[in-house]
Amino acid sequence: MALTDHTLDSVRPLLSLQNINISFGGVQALKNVSFDVLPGEVHCLAGENGSGKSTLIKIITGVYQPAGGASISFDGQSYDHMSPVVAQSKGIQVIWQDLALFPEMTVAENIAFQTVLGRWPRLVNYRHMRELAIQALDRLGVLLDVDAPLKSFPIAQRQIVAIARALVGEAKVVFMDEPTASLTQSETDHLLNIVRTLSGRGVAVVFVSHRLAEVLDISSRLTVLRDGGLVGVYPTAGMTQSRITELMTGKTFDNHVRAADRTTGSKVLKVDGLTRRGEFDSVSFTVREGETLGIIGLLGAGRTELALTLFGMSKPDSGAITLNGHSVQFQSNRAAIDAGIAYLSEDRLSLGLIQPQSIADNLVISSLHKIQKNGVLSDSRKQQLVAGWIAELGVKIGQQGDAISTLSGGNQQRVAIAKWLATDPKLLILDAPTVGVDVGARAGIFDIVAKLADAGLAIILISDEVPEVYFNADRVLHMAQGQIVGTFDPRSCTLQDIEAAVYA
């Protein structure tokens, strides 16, 4: 239900910030930002990467201190600034995108260890820990084996563990940073229901997401930041995704179907009856020169497993792969790379890029042979290669030697794409290329994909977001339970046709 002006006037905010300013190295990250959250509401904090969302959350939780003149009020008490200890003790909890959980520990230990141990060392009361964990999960309406190690659970259930941990901490407001970035639609629906449960119990939730459909579905109000400044606070009732995009970026984007007839192009990849037991079965398709083939499906459909097999990371049990008319059997991913296949992993942070290393090192790591001179790596060739791709893909960087982690998600993804384009591939496999990337950067990435296809590159685009493949692929394959169960032509079907099949 949308909040009315009367509601806003009659309910005292649980959390209120006024005149928030902060600078880093002479760059003002937040400029006179005001922000408030009402008790029990679901409030979305929106903005592109670099707009100041994370900085604002870190000020609220005491990680950063705002400049003088700021005012922070929480639950009727006023503060010049917060500290992490005070924020936690007052019931302010944050679930970061990386969750900050311990895979080797049990569910119960992850949920309750901080509460049981407190700030000082003491003997662990495991019975009390289990009781706290079970009670927190019960409040969410979830049943999990609290004695099982966390690593045995998928990411969706780990999210629930992180939420339960917040409840044990007597949360009054929970900030969720991109909680659905790695979830399928069904898992996302379950998480959103849990958010509604929290709201119904009086816990306020501040939701940060690049998936604008979720924003409209779950929140009652929306605060938009752009370049560190406050654009405004809006009720989500009557709001549209395109309007939110315009508020976030200051630009308008025209989604249109890019599909074209690619049947005249030569076959780059042909897959016949490819099978890997327990992962996918009897998969057959072709990808032609200049074609973008979309593969859509929920988690467990076998999409990534298929991609890893095409990339030589795993071997099929049966079936055939033909690349440019030649039968291939890759013994490793290096053999696939040498043959002209590039694979952009869905896990950019841990598999796609090496975060502590430089932008330049990340970009050239798959094509070192290009920067060798007399068997020795040449710095001048490296700089030239990197500069060329940075310019070609429009990557916004400071210096080539800066750590890749200093870039926004969208620019990191452009570097990851450049890393593979530098290998001169014949086939580029993009596995969920926009995970953790904001809406403005997404549009830029898909412009790059279209440009590459127009230049003749064959592309496989894997996603669990139907609009991504509908608007950007020439054909769409629907994969479920390891098999291709449907084929769609975006020129002759609607977005809803594909969504109905995928989410049936």
pLDDT of the residue at 351: 67
The answer to the question of residue 275 being in a domain is yes
What is the CB neighbour count within 10 angstroms for residue 202? 11
Residue 334 maps to a domain: yes
Alpha carbon distance 449, 430 (integer Å) = 9
List the chain residues with pLDDT less than 70.
1-10, 116-122, 181-182, 184-185, 347-351, 436
Please, which residues bridge with residue 17 across strands? Answer: 35, 72
| pLDDT reported for residue 372 | 86
Q: What is the pairing mode between strands 77-79 and 292-296?
A: unpaired
Quick one: three-class SS letters along 124-154?
CCHHHHHHHHHHHHHHCCCCCCCCCEHHHCC
> How open is the CA angle 140-142-145, to the nearest 5 degrees?
130
Here the CATH number for the domain that contains residue 466 is 3.40.50.300
For residue 282, tell me if it sits in a domain: yes
> Mapping DSSP to helix (H, G, I), strand (E, B) and coil, where does residue 157 land?
helix
Q: Is there a contact between 124 and 116 (Cβ–Cβ < 8 Å)?
A: yes
Residues of the domain holding 489: 267-340+425-502
Is 135 among the domain residues? no
Helix axes 439-454, 241-249, angle to 10 degrees: 100
pLDDT value of position 32: 95
Query: Does residue 206 fall inside a structural domain?
Result: no
- The pLDDT of residue 251 is 79
Instruction: Tell me if 497 is assigned to some domain.
Output: yes
Domain count, the chain: 1
Give CA–CA dist 473/457, Å, rounded: 13
Residue 389, in any domain of the structure: no
Look at strands 341-344 and 427-431 and give their pairing: parallel
Q: What is the pLDDT of residue 1?
A: 38
Quote the pLDDT of residue 4. 45
Residue 322 is predicted with a pLDDT of: 98
* Separation CA 424–CA 416 (nearest Å): 14
pLDDT tens-place string over residues 150-188:
999 888 788 889 888 888 878 899 999 888 766 766 778
244 in any annotated domain = no
